[in-house]
Amino acid sequence: MKLLLHTIFAFTPAQRSVLAAALPGVEIAETGGGDLNLYDGRDVAILVTEQLPRELAGWPALRWVQLISAGANQVLGHPLQATDIVVTNASGTHGVPIAQYVTTAVLMAAHRVPEILAFKPTRTWPNRTALASRPLRGATVGLLGYGSIGRECARQLAALGLRVICLKRDPAAREDRDFNAWPGTGDPAGRLPEAWYGPAALEEFVRASDYVVVTVPSTPQTAGLIGARELAWSKPGAHWVVVSRGGIVEEAALAAALRTGKVAGATVDCFVREPLPPDHEFFATPNLLLTPHMSGVYAGFWDIFNTLLADNLRRFAAGDPLLNRVQHARGY
């Protein structure tokens, strides 16, 4: 049985040994990245990748795709949707670092850090009372999406005294049994939110939140989920943090809401087009902190990913359910 690692990362001998031990007899090959469609996939049973092959006819032995990304929107509209090929994602490998990013964004907004950083180059002492901070204790953070990332955001922000609420597709499904790279983190039992909302209650959810954190996956249902109308529901002083995928919050609508003051501030790490073109209006939008889709980039990722992959290989060998299985129709 052949396992193909299609990544720009070169797995170390120690990492490959862990994988080989998890599925005895497996043949491990690496592409080094590049265009997957140029590879001969005829004998590949397990594919580890972020991109999918355009045509599945050249991959007749394929039984399982392990994605490197936590998102699985590349499955949507792909021929793989009409097959029984198992797809798993990398959910649970990014929870702590992305939640740290969110916590940083909330603290920076509360303590006016972007404005404070502008003081030093001026060499002019500012009006410090105009830079008054905003205590977080007692404020409400609304987590739009409550997967592994949202749950760790909840844990970290609750520790700062914020009240946590969340909105998810099925608010009755409160437990998370998928992979978690950091035991003891997150909220696997779903105990932290004080209120759970479904999609029909989006307006009530937004109006209740001092900080809104967007962690939902990119699907046809979430594309353009937050536009001008939804942003207008924001509380005075509300701050939005977007860390999942571009296009869930409409970029033009967010820029307009920030210019008019309907939204007090935002931190955005993902965009419809990446790299963000230099003429994009976000670069001239006030009260907006931009980062280059790096909230989930951290040292040690590949060791953690290897742990997930090895665990799933052991499950595959035993015929047990795999962790982080993607529902083809939903795309996550």
Q: Which two tokens stand for residue 326?
A: 């993607």
Measuring CA to CA, how many Å separate 162 from each of 17, 149, 157, 207?
44, 17, 6, 16
253 CB-near residues (< 8 Å, 6+ apart): 226, 227, 228, 231
Peptide bond into 275 cis (omega under 30): yes
User: Active-site residue 274, yes or no?
Assistant: yes
Given the residues 16, 111, 293, 315, select the one marked as catalytic: 293
User: Active-site residue 128, yes or no?
Assistant: no
166 CB-near residues (< 8 Å, 6+ apart): 142, 143, 144, 145, 146, 150, 154, 193, 195, 196, 197
User: Active-site residue 94, yes or no?
Assistant: no
Given the residues 27, 115, 274, 281, select the one marked as catalytic: 274
Cα separation, 116 vs 233, in Å, equals 28
Composition of the chain by helix, strand, coil, percent to 5: 35, 15, 50
Q: What SS3 class is residue 213?
A: strand
Ordered DSSP codes for 156-191: HHHHTT-EEEEE-S-TT-----S--SSTT-S-TT--
Given the residues 239, 245, 250, 251, select the one marked as catalytic: 245
Which residue numbers are catalytic? 245, 274, 293
